[in-house]
């Protein structure tokens, strides 16, 4: 085998896909509305982060909200994504997406 060749997966065992999502992403209707209001560039950046939560629901940089047990937030530029992780159902529920000065007002 040359340097450029890789070992194929053993028979009967699929190759591991590092981007395979295990967690299901759900958005509340409010989060969907908030995403629609954002400009295209911000929306793309935020959706990229939300999509990554399907692989790693508690990535580096995530913070727990002290006044709201069970809620987590992740920073995406000037915006925040507030979500909860339902471990028993393997679901990440996005609660709200908003600018940092507005995100905590209605929680």
The reported pTM is: 0.78
On the 0-12 / 13-18 / 19+ scale of CB atoms within 10 A, 16 is: exposed
Mean pLDDT of 11-18: 49
pLDDT at 15 > cutoff 70: no
Which residues sit opposite 19 in a β-bridge? none
pLDDT, one tens digit per residue, over 56-103 is 999 999 999 999 999 999 999 999 999 999 999 999 999 999 999 998
Domain ranges of the chain: 24-99
Q: State how far the Cα of 80 lies from the Cα of 64, in Å rounded to an integer.
A: 12
The two tokens of residue 30 are: 């409010």
Q: State how far the Cα of 73 lies from the Cα of 62, in Å rounded to an integer.
A: 6
Distances (CA, A) of 105 to 4, 44, 50, 92, 101: 54, 24, 21, 22, 8
Res 20: pLDDT? 62
Fold of 24-99: YaeB-like fold (3.30.2310)
Res 33: pLDDT? 96
């Amino acid at each position: 085998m040359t340097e450029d060749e890789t070992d194929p997966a053993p028979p009967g065992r699929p190759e591991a896909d590092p981007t395979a999502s295990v967690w299901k992403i759900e958005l509340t209707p409010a989060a969907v509305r908030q995403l629609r209001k954002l400009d295209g560039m911000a929306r793309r950046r935020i959706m990229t982060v939300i999509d990554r939560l399907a692989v790693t629901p508690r990535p580096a940089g995530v913070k727990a909200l002290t006044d709201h047990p069970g809620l987590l937030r992740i920073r995406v530029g000037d915006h925040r994504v507030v979500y909860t992780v339902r471990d028993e159902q393997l679901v990440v529920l996005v609660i709200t997406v908003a600018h940092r000065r507005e995100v905590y007002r209605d929680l």
